[in-house]
Amino acid sequence: MSKGKLTGADVAQHNSRDSCWVIVHGKAYDVTEFLPEHPGGQKIILKYAGKDATEEFDPIHPPDTLDKYLDGSKHLGEVDMSTVEQEEKVADPEETERQERIKRMPPLQACYNLMDFEAVARDVMKKTAWAYYSSGADDEITMRENHSAFHKIWFRPQILVDVENVDFSTTMLGAKTSIPFYVTATALGKLGNPEGEVVLTRAAHDHDVIQMIPTLASCSFDEIVDAKKGDQVQWLQLYVNKDREITKRIVQHAEARGCKGLFITVDAPQLGRREKDMRSKFSDEGSNVQASGGDAVDRSQGAARAISSFIDPSLSWKDIPWFQSITKMPIVLKGVQRVEDVLRAAEMGLDGVVLSNHGGRQLDTAPSGVEVLTEVMPILRERGWENKIEIFIDGGVRRSTDILKALCLGARGVGIGRPFLYAMSTYGQAGVDRAMQLLKDEMEMNMRLIGATKIADLNPSLIDVRGLNSGHHASVPSDTLTLRAYDPLQAPRFSEKAKL
Amino acid sequence: MSKGKLTGADVAQHNSRDSCWVIVHGKAYDVTEFLPEHPGGQKIILKYAGKDATEEFDPIHPPDTLDKYLDGSKHLGEVDMSTVEQEEKVADPEETERQERIKRMPPLQACYNLMDFEAVARDVMKKTAWAYYSSGADDEITMRENHSAFHKIWFRPQILVDVENVDFSTTMLGAKTSIPFYVTATALGKLGNPEGEVVLTRAAHDHDVIQMIPTLASCSFDEIVDAKKGDQVQWLQLYVNKDREITKRIVQHAEARGCKGLFITVDAPQLGRREKDMRSKFSDEGSNVQASGGDAVDRSQGAARAISSFIDPSLSWKDIPWFQSITKMPIVLKGVQRVEDVLRAAEMGLDGVVLSNHGGRQLDTAPSGVEVLTEVMPILRERGWENKIEIFIDGGVRRSTDILKALCLGARGVGIGRPFLYAMSTYGQAGVDRAMQLLKDEMEMNMRLIGATKIADLNPSLIDVRGLNSGHHASVPSDTLTLRAYDPLQAPRFSEKAKL
Amino acid sequence: MSKGKLTGADVAQHNSRDSCWVIVHGKAYDVTEFLPEHPGGQKIILKYAGKDATEEFDPIHPPDTLDKYLDGSKHLGEVDMSTVEQEEKVADPEETERQERIKRMPPLQACYNLMDFEAVARDVMKKTAWAYYSSGADDEITMRENHSAFHKIWFRPQILVDVENVDFSTTMLGAKTSIPFYVTATALGKLGNPEGEVVLTRAAHDHDVIQMIPTLASCSFDEIVDAKKGDQVQWLQLYVNKDREITKRIVQHAEARGCKGLFITVDAPQLGRREKDMRSKFSDEGSNVQASGGDAVDRSQGAARAISSFIDPSLSWKDIPWFQSITKMPIVLKGVQRVEDVLRAAEMGLDGVVLSNHGGRQLDTAPSGVEVLTEVMPILRERGWENKIEIFIDGGVRRSTDILKALCLGARGVGIGRPFLYAMSTYGQAGVDRAMQLLKDEMEMNMRLIGATKIADLNPSLIDVRGLNSGHHASVPSDTLTLRAYDPLQAPRFSEKAKL
Amino acid sequence: MSKGKLTGADVAQHNSRDSCWVIVHGKAYDVTEFLPEHPGGQKIILKYAGKDATEEFDPIHPPDTLDKYLDGSKHLGEVDMSTVEQEEKVADPEETERQERIKRMPPLQACYNLMDFEAVARDVMKKTAWAYYSSGADDEITMRENHSAFHKIWFRPQILVDVENVDFSTTMLGAKTSIPFYVTATALGKLGNPEGEVVLTRAAHDHDVIQMIPTLASCSFDEIVDAKKGDQVQWLQLYVNKDREITKRIVQHAEARGCKGLFITVDAPQLGRREKDMRSKFSDEGSNVQASGGDAVDRSQGAARAISSFIDPSLSWKDIPWFQSITKMPIVLKGVQRVEDVLRAAEMGLDGVVLSNHGGRQLDTAPSGVEVLTEVMPILRERGWENKIEIFIDGGVRRSTDILKALCLGARGVGIGRPFLYAMSTYGQAGVDRAMQLLKDEMEMNMRLIGATKIADLNPSLIDVRGLNSGHHASVPSDTLTLRAYDPLQAPRFSEKAKL
């Protein structure tokens, strides 16, 4: 102790699995017992055992995390930071190149669509942050299919409709909004922007767009609610905790703070394996030790157990009435993936479902939301249930044409996630603002071009979905020898030298 | 003033949004009030505020533009050009390379098909001109689908037909023509060739091909009509102005000058966003200022308002009888995209429709004209209406096989646009002439090869359209890891050294 | 004249369109009047006007050409070749590289399949010869589809059949043969091998394979017949001349010389445009002259007229009885492309048809022979006509699996053309021999693997043709921006440096 | 002789086809008469005639091979190895590079899926070993289709199922196992790992996974059985020998040693041609001699005859009762490829079939096992036979999603071959262990994500197989000219220089 504070040396002694202290924002914590509970695994904590973990901790955890999840007895008090040894940072050539690219970044006005933000983000985001945002499950087939599915739907536009005045405002779960998309919940906003999710809150306000607040935000829930202005609408996305009292507290707090909808995630009883993300985190340390199989087993079980305390894999249909009993917010299931489950949700009096596969991050070769939508709507209409329950979709929405297709099919709105993260991670709030404006510009134009002046004009006769409703095809593997022997046609050849 | 003329210095003072003068062809104009009306946006004018704008102005505007659209009071009179400061041109390495490529251009005879002109144009046209001509809406999916759609139609050729004499002349809207394609309307011909659209007029004459005159031509309407010879047939493409008197004047003038058909564009209540075009115009100036969202909103509204005075977004079916009342020319709707609208046009007594998506420049994932044709014709035949209305298509036509497929389906003729622009932009009139001759050569050969000696022989039994009538498919996204781990078969290896 | 012979100088005076002499094999010919008749166009002759054309003439013309097609009065007699000026050959860097590649050619044993010969040929053949053999019509879509079509047919193999002894000999048009393929007719064999088509004759003999003799062979018909041994079977492929007496003479001569089948080509009333071939012949000379359109017209008409004397575009069904009257050989139509025409051929008592699109060299997007076969056979079987007429196919056959698929469908045999040309052009007769042996090795193995011991065992239940019978599909054009923004999964990374 | 041993010189005299001795593990053998019987061909033995062949011999032959297949009279006794001339090894640059790559190999933990092992193996395995394992028949279309087929099956996942406890253990042929895959039989394990198949035995034990022992293992059958522990389950894969007594001995020995299932290979009456493998073995020696066709014929017949003594091509359905009479092990046919043959197997009372195409190594464009499965199961269910016979599949299984799809369709288990070979060839037993653990990790997660807690929950309603049941498609060949003329959209451009 120096002047009643802990010293760096004090903390440094607790640098092992048996006694593990870490420093965060100038305070020391004993996380020895917490190690096996850590959702992100023990390994990452042990890397900082006896050291200052602030830089690693910050983007991934809301500021109230330690208070919420670590018993007071483990809060060891302040550390005299002048006594903590500074680790010398090794120059990382990849990071140097990234900083160089940031200096040469394209101006915001050069982004003309939502994919442009992604292209810039890929080059300027931290490698690990990019990997976390951009990764999907297994071979990322579903992740890519999500956008690709929209290209299998084509328009049948109407002409000679008076489209001078176009209005695409609508309502979702009873709340008015300027355009039928919402900012869907995505985790760990501070990986991309030091301010985190509140950046999205502010941009959503400026564009009169609804925001869904994620359970796994980097900002605390209250920070995000505090950032809203006026009658701005927010919803809550919920991972259901094994301890239902915690869940109840979260839900009722959200309702009290004005949230207008509860979206219960049902497609993630276990968080997906995302190999791009795993690979990006892989450190070469110790890599010469060819791990025995035993270790793999242990780590796996550890992760599964740890997560199970945050996300309850036993959540089932019989829990639904309990949710209906603890809140008056409209309740929506997020992550529904088949017709039968939509019907069951409707039968149980739920207010909506989001047809979603979690951005392709959970089960690979799960169908896109928009594909499930094409199967769900005709059956709902057959039963006269199309107004009994609101159907949302998310995943792969990048263009206003995507939004229009979903609405023609019968969706009430669509969620957009990653594109706003990329916009926020590259150009901050101005980026998100431009992304939203681009969608509005596209929306106005494309409403005109299909001959619709208001949301109610959108209907299935305006689209052709046959391409989406005949299963998932792949071509016969190519015949390499023939392909390579083929001598393709050439365009006219320019001379090598200028003619006189 | 010097000698009763304005000086460069006089004009240079009016170099702002508050007072904006520009010089065009040695005369000064006050465009301050016109700024918000400019269809191309204010920004481009302000770039030349107080300066000589001739070089930028010329390729984009017909010579009578200023007289027509700018009130006489804004015509400020002649400028003593010797007093106007010459801007030093900065050497642009891209432009230098382009000039170099032009010197090495392939000879015209090396162009064997219409794609060859496009390949040459891509390398020798000015970047901005190329971008304007070659760009399409959003992801340019419809633009590419337009040609690709023809590859989904296959022939069922007849053999042992006496095809010694082949005649592919036909009539369109009552006018005889040597071959069932016409030069469709495309804007801003001077971007590609200093003479503009009259080049097309001359080539069309030489090949007995019909030309459609665009509203947004670089040459004035009268220049284009003046260029015709003998009983050459021309049609008028019309953007309908909010001020119907202007429209009436245009239509009746065209009829008086001998136009034989009126093609009303109905797929462009708002001109499309073409990102390749937008990106090519983007200048780095001021790009360090990260624009606030507010600016984006303003510019967008500005553009929408400006265009709305040239193209009336409120145009609707109820305007049709008025057109029928002001002209005796056959009236054709250009840009019809669904069966219902073809039937409605027929019911209203219109003379034809062009199944078209505006060259893929308006709504992305709108279907190709030829796809809509496969849906329209069986229904027209069912009703016995196949001769009640003439059906044209445009978009993606590059080969005589494309023309033959459309005619087998039941089209009366097809429009071809970009290929002639590319031919004109690379080799001038000789280029257009060769392009037309190539189509005729292909046509003669392919008529023989499918066993048809005249247009009337073409019928649906000669083609297989199943590939076009099962929706729009996309393959399952590829499994990158497996694909890359695969070690493809190799052809026999050549030795590294010669054998002894 | 020197010693009763013409001198080089004598000939050199006749070097223009007005008087055009050429030397071939030491004799001079006056071809002035013949110029417009030349099937290959005037241009190529004029290039040699007044000069020795032997080297260019040889690979393209059978030795008896001049006697047959040029009136005796135009044969000017011998030339004293010592007086003819030798043109200095300019070193062509492409040719030098080719010679270099020939020295490094892979050994014949490194060719394991028919595509391997094509891959080698592409690198070692003369550019113009390669272009002539490898080119197809327009975009070469049909040419490539021909092979690709076989990949849409999959097997349903039988197991546990005793396949110890496999016999794939069969009969075609009554003639026995060791394997159900024949060497189909292809033109200009000397482009690839100085000996020409007799190389194929010899290899065909050694493998007991039938050869079809082409009308446009480089060897004369009699040379090819003279090369056959024992009871080797040959057929005649016929282009029908406008002058039916010439045709009659050819047919009856062939019958007299022992040909066992007459294959009348019906898919080439006009020889196709093959752009790869045209482009390869294009010479830069005069290319600075931007040709006027008029010239293009002339050349086109000239070519069409010239060809029309060799191949009669007026040939039609009503000519068939005449053929039946002049020969007792079985008559087969080569180039049938739709069901109706097969039925008509059967009704007229013809002995067979070849479902073929001329190797994709005539009409692009004409269907593959094997696709037409899948449509034809069920209808023939329905009528009980499957034995009334023999059905052959050609185009794209490269593997014994291709042959087996055609035979399972009901074909009696398949023609193979280009692969043997490539084998002959690279490794001579040994190449053709190996190509045939490879097919036999594959055939023996694959008969066993599908559970068939003889040709009669092959039947439609052994294959799945659904992929071929649902039209021709093309994917939605790819969304470039999304595709490029996507960051594909990576395999594990090797360290940059070795580990210690 | 020196000290009663043979000398190198003694052996070296017998270096020809007429008298051919080789040394293996210090002993000499006279293989002159055996030459034509050698399944791998004579050529490879003759390469070592008169020399020490141990290094080449070892990975390909079980240690008991010479005792089993070469008559005692041909065992010539020990050789004094000090008298055998050592061949100087020529440094092979490819091998040097490979050794270099091995030093930089990624750590095992960097492998996150089964494809990763393949990617590493491609870079670190011996070229010939890689070619043997990775090659397939003809164009390797079926080999690649095997995995690709799984991508045409998509999930219809259930939500809100209590998936806290997931159990994917099952039984196959009555034996319990921890997970429904087994290690299928693959030949020549020592090519990849000096210990050979016993490595797989050990890993299979640790993961409670069943192993199928291959007839063509590098280890002897007894070595592999000796390596098993406790009640570990093994099956026998059988190539049926022409000499049924040999076969009987093998089968009954296997049963006596505890094998729990007999898998008779029925898709290989002749071993397939695998060109990648053939090409990798091709040596340049003698390659200047352009082989006459005659030689090709000889070699082919030789190989066919040789193999026929090991694998009986006459094996047929009528042999089945005999197998049933000589063993009590459950009998399964491995390599069934059509519905009819599954039904026949069931009718004959067989215990199971493996729907398989031999890993794509036999007949190209044979269907994948999983495709056949989609056709078989509905028919078995229709007849109420789904429990009468166990259906397995193998080929292309790489992910637990692949396993789940097969089980949803109705398979009892799936075989996995190459991935474990690659894991063993790169990281030894630890690699195989990790590969198995990865599958288990994926399995637990994906069971949860589709809403299944036990194998019995898997059923056809959880998947969409439409993409697999509409035949094999290939796109129209691409239009190269258009594709290349197209100027794709670009992402925003980074500046060349950093902004100030």
* C-alpha separations of A214 from A247, A315, A412 in Å: 14, 18, 21
- Say how many domains are in chain D: 2
Mean pLDDT for chain B overall: 91
CA distance linking residue D137 with residue D135, whole number of Å: 7
Q: How confident is the model over A235-248, as a mean pLDDT?
A: 95
What is the rounded distance in angstroms from the CA atom of residue D142 to the CA atom of residue A476?
9
Which is catalytic among the residues A48, A133, A182, A239? A239
> Across residues A218-234, what is the average pLDDT?
96
Question: Is the same domain home to B151 and B250?
Answer: yes
Q: Which amino acid is at C370?
A: V
Radius of gyration in angstroms for the set of CA atoms belonging to chain C, rounded to a whole number: 25
pLDDT range class, residue C309, cuts 50, 70, 90 = low
Query: Does residue C227 lie in a domain region?
Result: yes
| Contact between A291 and D108 (Cβ < 8 Å) | yes
Domain-located, residue B416: yes
Confidence label for A1 from pLDDT (cuts 50, 70 and 90): very low
D202 CB-near residues (< 8 Å, 6+ apart): D227, D429
Q: By C-alpha distance, which of B115, B167, B189 is closest to B402?
A: B115
Residue C41: its pLDDT value, please? 74
Mean pLDDT of D385-392: 97
Beta strands in A419-487 (DSSP E): 463-464
Q: Is B301's pLDDT higher than 50? A: no
Residues C274 and C137 sit within 8 Å (Cβ to Cβ)? yes
pLDDT single digits (tens) D337-353: 999 999 999 999 999 99
Paired sense of beta strands B352-355 and B390-394, if any: parallel
A278/D112 CB distance under 8 A? yes
Residue whose C-alpha is closest to residue B437's, from B150, B206, B176, B213? B206
Neighbours of chain B (3+ CB pairs under 8 A): A, C, D
Count CB-CB contacts under 10 A for residue B417.
23
Q: Could you tell me if A206 and A329 lie in one domain? A: yes
Interface residue of B138, B264, B287 to substitute, partner A, most A CBs within 10 Å: B138
Identify whether A65 is part of a domain.
yes
Strand pairing report for D331-336 and D262-265: parallel
DSSP tag of B29: E
Give residues with Cβ within 8 angstroms of D132, minimum separation 6.
Answer: D188, D191, D274, D277, D280
Report yes or no on D166 lying in a domain. Answer: yes
More confident position, C277 or A69? C277
- Same domain flag for D26 and D122: no
Transcribe A177-210 into DSSP letters.
ESSSEEE---S-GGGT-TTTTHHHHHHHHHTT-E
pLDDT at B282: 62
Distance CA(A189)–CA(B457), nearest Å, equals 66
**Phi and psi for C183 in degrees, rounded to 5?**
-80, 110
pLDDT at C284 over 90: no
Instruction: Considering only the beta carbons, identify the residue of C152, C159, C162 that sits closest to D336.
Output: C159
Does residue C29 contact residue C66 with C-beta atoms inside 8 Å? yes
Q: Name the minimum distance, in Å, from the CA of C284 to any CA of chain B.
A: 8
Q: Could you tell me the CATH number of the domain that includes residue B456?
A: 3.20.20.70
Q: What values do phi and psi take at B162, rounded to 5?
A: -70, 105
- What angle is formed at CA B313 by the lines to CA B307 and CA B319, rounded to 5 degrees? 130
Closest by CA position to C158, among listed C458, C465, C466: C458
Give yes or no: residues C382 and C430 share one domain: yes
Say how many CB pairs under 8 Å bridge A and B.
Answer: 202
Same domain membership, residue A276 and residue A131: yes
Assess contact for A446 and D442: CB atoms under 8 A: no
Same domain, B241 and B330: yes
Same domain, B158 and B233: yes
pLDDT over 90 percentage in chain B: 77
From chain B, pick out residues whose CB is under 8 angstroms from the CB of C273: 112, 441-442, 445
Chain B, nearest residue to A160 by Cα: B316
Tell me the two tokens of residue D139: 């164009």
Instruction: Please measure the distance between the N-terminal and C-terminal CA atoms of chain C and give it in whole angstroms.
Output: 87
Residue B428 C-alpha, separation from nearest chain D C-alpha, in angstroms: 19
User: Hey, is C369 helix, strand or coil?
Assistant: helix
HSE of D417, CA atoms in CB hemisphere, 13 A: 26
- Cα separation, A122 vs A111, in Å, equals 14
Helix H or strand E encompassing A176: strand A175-177
Number of H helices, E strands in chain B: 19, 15
Which residue intervals of A197-292 are DSSP H helices? 198-206, 221-226, 244-256, 275-281
Report residue D3 as tokens.
Answer: 């000290």
Quickly state the pLDDT bin for B286 (edges 50, 70, 90). very low
Whose tokens are 């009259």? That residue is B198
Confidence of residue B59 (pLDDT cuts 50, 70, 90): confident
Q: Is the pLDDT of residue D499 over 80?
A: no
Residue B248 belongs to some domain of the structure? yes
Least Cα distance to A59 among A214, A220, A194, A202 occurs for: A194
Q: Answer whether D465 sits within 8 Å of A471, measured CB to CB.
A: yes
Residue B309: its pLDDT value, please? 61
Residue A153 backbone dihedrals phi, psi, to 5 degrees: -105, 130
The predicted pLDDT at position C299 comes to 38
Could you report the per-residue pLDDT of A76-128, keeping only the tens digit for each?
999 999 999 887 777 888 899 999 999 999 999 999 999 999 999 999 999 98
Dihedral pair phi/psi, residue A394, rounded to 5°: -140, 170
Per-residue pLDDT at A291 exceeds 60: no
Does residue A125 sit in the same domain as residue A15? Answer: no
Burial A389-417 (b: 16+ CB within 10 A, else e): bbbbbbbbbbbbbbbbbbbbbbbbbbbbb
* d(C-alpha C403, C-alpha D151), whole Å: 30
- The kind and range of the H/E element at D200 are helix D198-206
Residues of B marked as catalytic: 239, 267, 358
Residue C69 bears catalytic tag: no
Residues from chain A that touch B336, judged by Cβ atoms under 8 A, are: 159
- Our measurement of the distance from residue D490's CA atom to the centroid of its chain's CA atoms, rounded to an integer in Å, reads 45
Tokens coding C176: 């026995």
- Whole domain around residue C63: which residue ranges? 8-83
What is the pLDDT, as a whole number, of residue C499?
A: 58
Identify the three-state secondary structure at position D215: coil
The answer to which of B240-244, B280-284, C213-217 has the lowest mean pLDDT is B280-284
Query: Do D271 and D411 belong together in one domain?
Result: yes
CA distances from A432 to A121, A194, A438, B118 (A): 13, 15, 10, 38
Token pair for C460: 């439609």
Q: Whose CA is closest to D330, among D390, D386, D280? A: D390
With CB atoms and an 8 Å threshold, state whether B152 touches C481: no
The radius of gyration of chain A's CA atoms, rounded to the nearest angstrom, is 25
Average pLDDT score over residue span B173-180: 98
> Both tokens of residue B251?
């239509």
Whether B28 and B124 share a structural domain: no
pLDDT of A292: 31
Residue of A nearest to D462 (CA): A338
* A492's tokens: 């006219």
- Bridge partners (DSSP) of residue D385 are none
Interatomic CA distance for residues B248 and B234, integer angstroms: 18
Amino acid letter, C18: D
Residue C495: inside a domain: no
User: How far apart are alpha carbons C164 and B479 in whole angstroms?
Assistant: 40
Known catalytic membership, residue D267: yes
| CATH, residue C46 | 3.10.120.10
Q: Is pLDDT of D289 > 70?
A: no
Judged by CB atoms closer than 8 Å, whether chains meet at C398 and A482 is answered as: yes
- Tell me the average pLDDT across D253-275: 95
Phi/psi for D354 (5° steps) reads: -105, 115
| CA nearest to A189, candidates A63, A72, A16, A350 | A63
The helix/strand/coil state of C77 is: strand
The identity of residue B188, as a single letter, is L
Quick one: pLDDT at residue B297?
33
Task: Tell which residue, B184, B64, B194, B182, has the closest CA to residue B129.
Answer: B194
More confident call, B339 vs A494: B339
> Residue C176: what pLDDT?
97
Q: Which chain A residues have a beta carbon less than 8 Å from that of D430?
A: 290-293
- Pick from B151, B167, B179, B210: nearest CA to B439: B179
Residues B405 and B270 in one domain: yes
Contacts of C102 in chain D (CB under 8 A): none
The total number of residues written for chain C in this structure: 500
Q: Which residue, C83, C31, C82, is CA-closest to C53?
A: C31
- Mean pLDDT, chain A, integer: 91
Tell me the per-residue pLDDT of D441-466, one tens digit each, with 9 for 90 and over: 999 999 999 999 999 999 999 999 99
E-only strand ranges, D340-468: 352-355, 390-394, 413-416, 463-464
Q: What is the pLDDT of residue B3?
A: 61
Q: Which tens digits make up the pLDDT trace of B115-144?
A: 999 999 999 999 989 999 999 999 999 999
Number of DSSP helices (H) and strands (E) in chain D, helices first: 19, 15
Confirm or reject contact between A292 and chain C (CB < 8 A): no
Q: What 3-state class would DSSP assign to D108?
A: helix
The C-alpha atoms of residue B194 and residue B218 are separated, in whole angstroms, by 9
Token pair in block for residue C213: 């003799």
- Distance (Å) from the alpha carbon of A140 to chain D's nearest alpha carbon: 12
- Residue B499 pLDDT grade (very low, low, confident, very high; cuts 50, 70, 90): low
**Are both D464 and D412 inside the same structural domain?**
yes
pLDDT tens column, D149-182: 999 999 999 999 999 999 999 999 999 999 999 9
Contact B473, B382 (CB under 8 A): no
Q: Does D494 touch chain B (CB under 8 A)?
A: no
pLDDT in tens, B377-431: 999 999 999 999 999 999 999 999 999 999 999 999 999 999 999 999 999 999 9
- Domain assignment present for residue A385? The answer is yes
Q: Which residues of D touch C468 (CB under 8 A)?
A: 471
* Residue B277 forms part of a structural domain: yes
What average pLDDT does the segment A397-415 reach? Answer: 98
What value does the mean pLDDT take over residues D208-218?
A: 95
